[in-house]
A = this chain, B = another copy of it.
Amino acid sequence: MKKDANRITIHDIASELGLHASTISRALSDNPAVSKKTRELIKAKARELNYRPNQMAAALRRGRSDMLGVIVPAIDRNFFASVIRGIEEEANVAGLHVMVCQSYDDSERERVLVEGLQAMRVDGIIISTAKDGLNDADFFKSISGSGTPVQFFDNMPAGLDAAAVVINDRRGAYAATKHLIDQGRKRIAHMRGPQHLDIYRERFAGYQDALKEAGLECSDALTVDINSHFDNGRKAFAHLWSRDLKPDAVFSASDYSAAGAMQSAQEHGLSIPADVAFVGFANEPFTELMTPSLSSVDQQPLSMGRKAARRIMRRIKNEAVEKERVILEPSVIVRGSSAS
Contact = CB atoms under 8 A, between A and B. Distances in A.
B289 A120 contact: no
B142 A50 contact: yes
Interface string A266-290: 1000000000000000000110111
Contact of A81 (B67, B76, B101): B76
A76 B82 contact: yes
A99 interface: yes
B290 A121 contact: no
Nearest to A55: B119
A291 interface: yes
A148 B5 CA distance: 9
A54 B119 contact: yes
Given A60-B60, A75-B81, A102-B88, A146 B6 contact: yes
A63 B319 CA distance: 31
B4 A146 contact: yes
Interface in A85-137: 85, 88, 97-102, 115-116, 118-121
B81 A118 contact: no
Contact of A230 (B118, B142, B289): B289
Interface in A23-66: 50, 52-57, 59-60, 65
Contacts of A67: 120
A78 interface: yes
A100 B97 contact: no
A249 interface: no
B102 A6 contact: no
Given A119-B55, A147-B4, A81 B74 contact: yes
A285 B259 CA distance: 12
The 7 closest A-B pairs by CB, nearest first: A4-B147, A76-B81, A5-B146, A286-B286, A6-B147, A291-B291, A55-B119
13 contacts: A2-B145, A5-B145, A6-B118, A50-B142, A54-B60, A54-B119, A60-B60, A74-B81, A75-B76, A75-B100, A76-B81, A230-B288, A259-B289
